[in-house]
Structure 1
Amino acid sequence: MKKNVIRRRLVEPKSGADGDPDPRDGGVQSVDRALAIIETLAEDDEGYRLSDLAIRTGLSTSTVHRLLTTLEHRRFVQFDRDQSKWHVGARAFMVGATFARHRNFTAQAIPYLRKLRDLTRETANLAVVDDEFIIVLTRMESREIMRSLTKVGGRVSMVASGVGKAVLAAYSDEDVSAIIRHHGMPRLTEKSIVRPGDLFKELQTIRRRGYAVDDEEAQIGLRCVAAVVYDHHAEPLAAISASGMTSRVTNERLPGIGRIVREVAAELTAALGGAMPDPHQS
């Protein structure tokens, strides 16, 4: 399923007669444009044709082609000549994988994600906060025919995801308000929470029951049940979740899945040397 994403529009720098960037910008604009191309390619596994990529980035086709040629030489992108489409390359994956390796608890989390998947029969995810957004680090896919629609490396607003809301529930109201001011409350679906008052009520519920639910708030047809994994300071380190289609993750199953997710999150917290927060602490 292809996501609706905001089209990027980059500021055109001063250029010479041949359309190349003015040397005075020191190549910074070219770096910014190249990174925007890689980010755009990462949004869709099906890849982009040159003309579509130019439209998505707001750049001329000649500029995009020049940058793609350089990126292809460095293996950050690759070209499928059969379909005439560009894709993210192996080098981009290798660089991006460093982010997951830096979170050195990822390997330790795998057995617990496997347990979560087997107990719930749904896809188990491990995610962290990055720049006040949620990024999926790794996952254990469900064995069911219809699987979760999100992907590793996917980036989503905290207020519109189960793992994001689970982490927000561990924050103070002041910190949550600051995140809302910085990033807003995007309406990704008709079920997204877009009013601060509604979000704060939801966070109170999450704190009381120990797990969060994304009820088609990020993607229609997808439900996610999440809980926080804590570090040794009893601060959020990551979050795990079980996600699946609404046809399987029914309202009747939500409490049971929530209990399992909460318990596995507590087990992973202990395995990583973390500490659960004091429930009586305000």
Structure 2
Amino acid sequence: MTTAVQSVDRALTLLELISKDPEGSRLSDLARTAGLAASTTHRLLTALEQRGFAQVDASTGRWHVGRAAHSVGATWGKTRTLLAPATPFLRRLRDATRETANLGIIENGRVITIAQAESREIMRAISPPGGSAPIFCSGMGKAIISTWPDEYIDRLIDEYGFHAATSHSLTSRAAAHAEIATIRAQGYAMDDEEFVPGLRCVAAVVHGPGGDAIAAVSVSGLSIRMTEDKVDRCIKLVQQVSWDLSGRDMF
């Protein structure tokens, strides 16, 4: 085992040990249980703390799981509960449109495709599950943030910027807010060759039981097939699937 891999393995071991004790763990106890020197344990815990995966209570000296670890765990749980129930809906959408149907969420300033029903067309453009795109280049991303207050969108822009992928991508705050206003009015979002040249996408937001936007569903296909008439038909189908998925207990 290389030194780097060994350090990762030891750090994850410590994180697992911390997670088992809700009252917090002392450094000496962690070192003994993990079979590590106290100095090595402290170095690894400090690295975890700097990344937000561990935190120490200064008054007790006990170590606890940090916010970043909770965030990663919550993402896994959310993704896991979304996938299986959404799959038949994505297949239905794929079969009705003959294009690729996608389900995506926002993480760290990007849209991540977490599930997909791939088009059976010979010519197709696909961002596979696990692939990501800048929010403002993505129909799913724009659909989700259209439910956010304008000040939250401004904070997103301040933190992550635009990252234009094509000549059609949004590149200014004014243009972004104008498009978000349009999305709110019409109830769907589009990616018109904004991430991949020759690819067009229609998306609608999926709401959880509490009304929060938790994901988006989309249909994406080659622009030569996604004509104005087909886009209009896809809009209705995507909206229907987003409504069918919204508010379900699986979320």
Give the alignment's TM-score, normalised by structure 2. 0.68
Q: Cα distance 1:272–1:220, how it changes in 2: closer, same or farther (>3 A)? A: farther
Separation (CA, whole Å) in 2 of partners of 1:265 and 1:105: 13
- Return 5+ residue gaps in structure 2 as ranges: 9-74
Which letter maps to 2:243? Answer: A
Which letter maps to 1:244? Answer: G
1:227 aligns with 204
Which letter maps to 2:124? Answer: R
Match of 1:144 among 108, 116, 121: 121
1:169 aligns with 146
Q: Cα distance 1:230–1:219, how it changes in 2: closer, same or farther (>3 A)? A: same
How far did 1:101 drift? 7.5
1:253 alignment partner, SS class: helix
Match of 1:261 among 229, 238, 241: 238
1:265 alignment partner, SS class: helix
Match of 2:133 among 156, 166, 183: 156
Q: Which has the larger radius of gyration?
A: 2
2:56 aligns with none
How far did 1:186 drift? 1.2
Separation (CA, whole Å) in 1 of partners of 2:141 and 2:77: 18
2:246 alignment partner, SS class: helix
How far did 1:199 drift? 1.0
Deviations 1:250-278 (CA, angstroms, capped at 9, x unpaired): 1232222111101110011144477xxxx
Instruction: Output aligned runs, 1:267-278, within 5 Å.
Output: 267-272=244-249
1:266 alignment partner, SS class: helix
Deviations 1:41-60 (CA, angstroms, capped at 9, x unpaired): xxxxxxxxxxxxxxxxxxxx
8 Å contact from structure 1 (residues 100, 106) kept in 2: no
Deviations 1:186-210 (CA, angstroms, capped at 9, x unpaired): 1100110101111111111111111
Larger relative CO (CA 8 A, sep 6+): 1 or 2?
A: 2
Separation (CA, whole Å) in 1 of partners of 2:233 and 2:217: 15
8 Å contact from structure 1 (residues 127, 239) kept in 2: yes
Q: Which runs of 4+ in 1 moved over 4 A?
A: none
8 Å contact from structure 2 (residues 202, 218) kept in 1: yes
Identity of aligned pairs, percent?
39
- Return 5+ residue gaps in structure 1 as ranges: 1-25, 32-97, 275-282
Separation (CA, whole Å) in 1 of partners of 2:235 and 2:96: 11
8 Å contact from structure 1 (residues 100, 137) kept in 2: no
How far did 1:224 drift? 0.8
8 Å contact from structure 2 (residues 98, 121) kept in 1: yes
8 Å contact from structure 1 (residues 229, 238) kept in 2: yes
1:240 aligns with 2:208: no
Deviations 1:116-139 (CA, angstroms, capped at 9, x unpaired): 111111100011111221100110
Which letter maps to 1:227? Answer: A
Separation (CA, whole Å) in 2 of partners of 1:122 and 1:272: 28
1:215 aligns with 2:215: no
Which letter maps to 1:178? Answer: R
How far did 1:163 drift? 0.3
Figure out how many residues of one structure are paired with residues of the other and give that number.
Answer: 182
Separation (CA, whole Å) in 2 of partners of 1:174 and 1:255: 31
1:135 aligns with 112
RMSD: 2.1
Separation (CA, whole Å) in 1 of partners of 2:178 and 2:80: 32
Deviations 1:233-259 (CA, angstroms, capped at 9, x unpaired): 100111110001001111232222111
